[in-house]
Chains A and B, each alone.
Chain A
Amino acid sequence: MTTKPPVQLRIVVDLNRCQSYGQCVFAAPTVFRFHGEELLEYDYAPGERVRAEVERAATACPVQAIALGTPATKASR
């Protein structure tokens, strides 16, 4: 039995700000994709292995719509 690594990277996209430029899709195609021409779909918990790509996606977004954070926790943090 393999244990999955704990999820540390969580993201949310401000879909008001998003204007479907798609730079995120280029930077992290396993995390972001388009449905149809203009609808962004994404994975809120993409996994540590793609952190660098997700950080590049957030930086590349022309409208800065991608926010990176950590899982909220009930532990005092």
Chain B
Amino acid sequence: MSTGHIVVVGASLAGLRAAEALRDEGFTGGLTLIGDEPYLPYDRPPLSKAVLSGRLSEEHIELPQLRTIDARWLLGVAATGLDRPHQQVILADGGRIGFDKLLIATGTRARPWPVAAGDAPRGVHLLRGRDDAATLHAALKAGPRRVLVIGGGFTGSEVASSCRDLGLAVTLTHRGAAPLSGALGSTLAHFTIGLHRDAGVDLRVATTVDALDSDETGQLRRARLSDGSAVDIDVAVVALGAVSNIAWLAGSGLLTDHHGLRCDATCRVYTTEGGFADGTYAAGDVAYWPHPLYHDRLVRLEHWGNAIEQARVAAHNMVHDSGELRTHDQLPSFWSNQFGVNIKAIGLPTAADQVVITQGSPAERKFVAAYGQKDRLVGALAVNSPRVLDGYAALIQARAPFPPILNAPDAPTDHDPLPAGFPQTLASTTARH
């Protein structure tokens, strides 16, 4: 379809790159972008790093537009419903936007602290968007006695790192055995314990927060932890992951679950009845889809690179819907910068049952490791070793065996595989339609 009207719900990285890709693919019809934040698209990764530490202001991180898109932008307007029979997106102000085709790129929001709204103390922060980052940065500049970061995933670890850059006392609690254990597995994540502690973070692993206590004015003053201790704090940052923005699709007949919006590897969205929703596509953090490189394992990737590439695949398929559809099978890739260390990973570490250090040494904070699932290489991790991953990527895509035979000159002497240290879960069932 090269004419008609396309509506993109979600005006962040995936939405913007989809709009550009639609024009690249030859779409000449009308284009509307709807975004609930009142801002033009901006880059989220710096929010936990350079914006928090003050190196960049939150206005400074707006994303470049890479080509003309000739679109109508409805910003600061939330989509609150989808009327599929009438092909209209329903907005918070009651307005309705008609579409011939629809791309859903509404992303995620930060998982909130589990108390009723209004019961959370002042001083408890989430970090997902520009406004969150500006508010949190101001709270940190005010010089709190101590900051509590709840959750040691990528966001939490980066926030702790930025707090130390600001010279603030910070305690980080993490449910798992080591920060980043959810993403990297507890075996390889172990090296991050030293990163935090050497930087002066009061790191509490295998620890959760039982309660946040406030004073008589409602200001946060103390946290009570599962290890029985209490910490006096003025600021808490809740970094417990992200949840998909799919509530607006309730009742629309599109297939969603607690993970996200179900689509196939061509970005076409499923209905609750089992077929595809006509002209309806998904891209970015909101999408939950089968990855062809991993035996159609259902994944929801919160990766920057996935938002861009999935948006491009969706755009191609929206325009060339009667021709050959592209499959979104890009090798996943993500990074984190924290405590002066560059961490890069490719593939799907969470699919692994074993790991092996292939180069360097965790003790020196410069190493490469491979992830394996039942004798097959499924991912790789590079710490302060950013130039090695192309070779590992080629091996993964060639379905190379694990452990990989590399004969690297900096291979450790002990190269026996170890358990990866991910929680044992049932393998995802693939819903084939």
Residues of A within 8 A of B (CB): 10-12, 14-16, 18-21, 35-39, 41, 43-45, 67-74, 76-77
> A71 with B64: in contact, given A36-B341, A44-B56 (CB under 8 Å)?
yes
Q: Which residues of B contact A73 (CB under 8 A)?
A: 40, 65
> A71 with B386: in contact, given A77-B68, A77-B70 (CB under 8 Å)?
no
Q: Report how far A70 CA is from B67 CA in the complex, Å.
A: 8
How far is the CB of A35 from the nearest CB of chain B, in Å? 6
Looking at the complex, which one of B41, B72, B342 makes contact with A39 (CB distance below 8 Å)?
Answer: B342
Task: Find out whether the CB atom of A45 lies under 8 angstroms from the CB atom of B60.
Answer: yes
Q: Report how far A15 CA is from B303 CA in the complex, Å.
A: 11
Task: Find out whether the CB atom of B64 lies under 8 angstroms from the CB atom of A14.
Answer: no
Contact with A along B325-368 (1 / 0, CB 8 A): 00000000111010011101000000000000000000000000
Looking at the complex, which one of B50, B66, B389 makes contact with A67 (CB distance below 8 Å)?
Answer: B66
Verify if B92 is at the interface (C-beta below 8 Å from A). no
Q: Report how far A44 CA is from B61 CA in the complex, Å.
A: 6
Task: Find out whether the CB atom of A71 lies under 8 angstroms from the CB atom of B384.
Answer: no
Contact with A along B85-115 (1 / 0, CB 8 A): 0000000000000000000000000000000
User: What are 29 A-B interface contacts by the 8 Å CB criterion?
Assistant: A10-B63, A10-B64, A15-B304, A20-B342, A20-B387, A35-B340, A36-B342, A37-B342, A38-B384, A38-B385, A39-B337, A43-B56, A44-B43, A44-B56, A44-B61, A45-B60, A67-B64, A67-B66, A69-B63, A69-B64, A69-B65, A69-B67, A72-B16, A72-B63, A72-B65, A73-B40, A76-B72, A77-B65, A77-B68
Looking at the complex, which one of B41, B55, B63, B71 makes contact with A41 (CB distance below 8 Å)?
Answer: B55
How far is the CB of A64 from the nearest CB of chain B, in Å? 13
Q: Which residues of B contact A44 (CB under 8 A)?
A: 43, 56, 60-64
Q: Report how far A40 CA is from B68 CA in the complex, Å.
A: 28
Task: Find out whether the CB atom of A71 lies under 8 angstroms from the CB atom of B62.
Answer: yes
Verify if B201 is at the interface (C-beta below 8 Å from A). no
Looking at the complex, which one of A21, A36, A70, A77 makes contact with B64 (CB distance below 8 Å)?
Answer: A70
How far is the CB of B34 from the nearest CB of chain A, in Å? 12
Verify if B305 is at the interface (C-beta below 8 Å from A). yes
Task: Find out whether the CB atom of A14 lies under 8 angstroms from the CB atom of B305.
Answer: yes
Closest 10 CB pairs of A and B: A69-B64, A10-B64, A36-B340, A38-B342, A72-B65, A16-B333, A72-B40, A69-B66, A74-B73, A19-B386
Verify if B178 is at the interface (C-beta below 8 Å from A). no
Q: Report how far A18 CA is from B75 CA in the complex, Å.
A: 31
Residues of B within 8 A of A (CB): 16, 40-41, 43, 45, 50, 55-56, 60-73, 75, 303-305, 333-335, 337, 340-342, 344, 384-387, 389
Q: Report how far A4 CA is from B337 CA in the complex, Å.
A: 32
Q: Which residues of B contact A18 (CB under 8 A)?
A: 386
> A37 with B62: in contact, given A15-B45, A76-B71 (CB under 8 Å)?
no
Q: Report how far A41 CA is from B56 CA in the complex, Å.
A: 10
Task: Find out whether the CB atom of A16 lies under 8 angstroms from the CB atom of B335.
Answer: yes
> A20 with B65: in contact, given A44-B43, A76-B70 (CB under 8 Å)?
no
Q: Report how far A71 CA is from B333 CA in the complex, Å.
A: 26
Q: Is the interface of A mostly helix, strand, loop or mixed?
A: loop
How far is the CB of B77 from the nearest CB of chain A, in Å? 12
Q: Which residues of A contact B75 (CB under 8 A)?
A: 74
How far is the CB of A31 from the nearest CB of chain B, in Å? 12
How far is the CB of B251 from the nearest CB of chain A, in Å? 31
How far is the CB of A57 from the nearest CB of chain B, in Å? 14
Task: Find out whether the CB atom of B62 lies under 8 angstroms from the CB atom of A10.
Answer: yes
How far is the CB of A45 from the nearest CB of chain B, in Å? 6
Q: Which residues of A contact B73 (CB under 8 A)?
A: 74
Q: Report how far A18 CA is from B41 CA in the complex, Å.
A: 22
Q: Which residues of A contact B68 (CB under 8 A)?
A: 77
Task: Find out whether the CB atom of B65 lies under 8 angstroms from the CB atom of A16.
Answer: no
Q: Which residues of B contact A16 (CB under 8 A)?
A: 303-305, 333-335, 344
**In this complex, which of A12, A20, A38 has the most chain B Cβ atoms within 10 angstroms of its Cβ?**
A38
Looking at the complex, which one of A12, A43, A71 makes contact with B43 (CB distance below 8 Å)?
Answer: A12
Q: Report how far A19 CA is from B40 CA in the complex, Å.
A: 29
| Chain B residue with Cβ nearest A10 | B64
| Chain A residue with Cβ nearest B16 | A72
> A20 with B386: in contact, given A12-B43, A15-B45 (CB under 8 Å)?
yes
Q: Which residues of A contact B70 (CB under 8 A)?
A: 76-77
Q: Report how far A19 CA is from B393 CA in the complex, Å.
A: 14
Task: Find out whether the CB atom of A38 lies under 8 angstroms from the CB atom of B386.
Answer: yes
How far is the CB of B305 from the nearest CB of chain A, in Å? 5
Other CB < 8 Å A-B pairs besides A45-B60, A74-B40, 20 of them?
A10-B64, A12-B64, A15-B45, A15-B335, A16-B333, A20-B386, A36-B341, A37-B342, A38-B342, A38-B384, A39-B341, A41-B50, A43-B60, A44-B60, A44-B61, A68-B66, A69-B63, A72-B40, A72-B41, A73-B40
